């Protein structure tokens, strides 16, 4: 294992080569031993480190893109399509207002038919007590469900800010009429094996909740309403508690895919399109989504390019150089019109282009490790 000084020196060398990398990328390179191997084995493994760092940085860039309809896609829609989508979204909300799930939650938590403000909702979703207490427990203690603040507190270290509830900690709840510390043991329904339920508050990270808690009720209601209305559960909950109508755009954009570090990347995208959107608009939106993801429109691969890619990946033998590979290619395919190469460097350039287009579309990567070292110079 390399020393801190060696890692610092290696990171400086890497960033000088490819530019600034994030702490997350560096940590993954360390965790997967690319850093140690580059320190131990030198230049050859440093090339592998560069390759993986570039790949991880590209993946990070993709993950950083906002999901949903991108602004460039939305701006391509006909204003009449956008207006129609807005009218439809209002109609769906009108129907959701009459849904028994919506009415049940509002009857329990909003008896005066007063919607929550954004500030009150954000404070409520950031509270820890609703993860564990039922609506009855709130009522029994005289604690307002929405007008309170709560957090985990370690009695042995009041200034600390624990992020989860262990046996020694309490939930400290404060509201206008008082405050209360609740120990875990005091909740008869608490079961350490009953915290596997996950609730996703709007705009926040998922949190674990227990059955019968306020958040569990919100979780079930928002999940059921979201399925009935084609909304996300967080948007459905926001609608129930604030009356805010979730958008239902005419075109929705979503990135999907898988990757295998250093070998290939596969990141297709989906367009969910309302059937009344015009074909002309669909084509414009598709092209914009393609540029959003790959930075350019698709390029066609000719027969020779595809054959060259397969030849190099399958027929290059260990120790074979590019000049030798070029001779082998010409013997196998040289009789075909314009398929032979007079200079192995042109063959290598064409293979690199094919490698990037097939294995890593839209990404600039060096030659694969298989082609390095004794294989190519």
Tens digit of pLDDT for each residue in 193-233? 444 567 777 666 777 788 888 999 999 999 999 999 999 99
The per-residue pLDDT for 367 is: 58
Q: Pick from 145, 144, 132: which is nearest to 189 by CA?
A: 132
Q: Indicate the pLDDT class of residue 100, thresholds 50, 70 and 90.
A: very high
How far does CA 162 lie from the centroid of its chain?
A: 27
Residue 70 has pLDDT above 60, yes or no: no
Q: Can you tell me the distance from the alpha carbon of 8 to that of 88, in angstroms, rounded to the nearest whole number? A: 56
Q: Can you tell me the distance from the alpha carbon of 210 to that of 267, in angstroms, rounded to the nearest whole number? A: 36
Alpha helices in the chain (DSSP H): 4-18, 23-31, 34-41, 43-63, 71-74, 79-97, 100-109, 118-125, 135-140, 214-229, 233-242, 279-294, 303-315, 322-333, 344-359
CA angle 163, 168, 171 (to 5 degrees): 55
Residues of the chain with pLDDT > 70, as a percent, come to 79
For the ranges 14-28, 148-162, 233-247, 337-351, the maximum mean pLDDT occurs at: 233-247
**What is the pLDDT of the chain when averaged over all its residues?**
80
Q: Can you tell me the distance from the alpha carbon of 200 to that of 259, in angstroms, rounded to the nearest whole number? A: 26
The per-residue pLDDT for 164 is: 56
Q: Choose between 287 and 237: higher pLDDT.
A: 237
Q: Choose between 204 and 163: higher pLDDT.
A: 204
**How many C-beta atoms lie closer than 10 Å to residue 244's C-beta?**
16
What region, left, alpha or beta, does residue 256 occupy, with left being phi > 0 and alpha being psi -120 to 50 degrees? Answer: beta
Distance (Å) of CA 17 to CA 10, 22, 369: 11, 15, 17
Q: Indicate the pLDDT class of residue 188, thresholds 50, 70 and 90.
A: very low
Round to the nearest angstrom and report the end-to-end CA distance of the chain.
30
| Pairing of β 258-260 and β 264-266 | antiparallel
The per-residue pLDDT for 69 is: 45
């Amino acid at each position: 294992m390399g020393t801190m000084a060696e890692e610092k020196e290696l990171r400086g060398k890497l960033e000088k080569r490819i530019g600034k990398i994030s702490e997350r990328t560096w940590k993954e390179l360390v965790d997967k031993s690319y850093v140690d191997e580059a320190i131990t084995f030198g230049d050859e493994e440093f090339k592998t480190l560069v390759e993986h760092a570039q790949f991880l940085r590209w993946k990070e860039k993709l993950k950083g893109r906002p999901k949903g309809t991108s602004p460039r896609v939305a701006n391509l829609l006909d204003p009449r399509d956008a207006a129609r989508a807005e009218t439809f979204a209002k109609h769906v909300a009108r129907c959701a207002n009459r849904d028994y799930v919506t009415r049940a939650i509002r009857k329990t938590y909003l008896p005066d038919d007063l919607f929550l403000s954004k500030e009150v909702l954000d404070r409520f979703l950031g509270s820890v007590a609703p993860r564990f207490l039922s609506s009855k427990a709130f009522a029994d203690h005289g604690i307002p469900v929405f007008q309170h603040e709560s957090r985990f507190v370690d009695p042995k270290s009041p200034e600390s800010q624990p992020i989860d509830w262990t046996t020694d900690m309490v939930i400290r709840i404060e509201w206008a009429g008082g405050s209360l510390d609740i120990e875990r043991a005091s909740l008869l329904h608490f079961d350490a094996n009953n915290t596997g339920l996950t609730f996703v508050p709007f705009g926040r990270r998922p949190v674990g909740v227990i059955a019968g808690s306020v958040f569990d009720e919100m979780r079930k209601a928002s999940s059921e309403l979201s399925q009935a209305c084609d909304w996300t559960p967080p948007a459905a909950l926001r609608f129930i508690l604030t009356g805010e109508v979730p958008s239902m755009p005419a075109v929705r954009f979503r990135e999907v895919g898988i990757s295998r570090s250093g070998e290939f990347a596969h990141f297709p995208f989906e367009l969910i399109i309302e059937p009344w959107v015009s074909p002309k608009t669909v084509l414009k939106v598709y092209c914009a989504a393609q540029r959003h993801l790959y930075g350019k429109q698709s390029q066609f691969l000719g027969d020779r390019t595809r054959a060259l890619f397969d030849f190099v990946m399958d027929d290059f033998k260990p120790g074979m150089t590019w000049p030798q590979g070029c001779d082998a290619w010409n013997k196998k395919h040289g009789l075909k019109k314009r398929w032979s190469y007079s200079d192995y460097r042109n063959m290598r350039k064409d293979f690199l282009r094919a490698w990037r287009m097939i294995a890593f579309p839209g990404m600039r990567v060096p030659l694969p490790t298989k082609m390095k070292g004794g294989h190519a110079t």
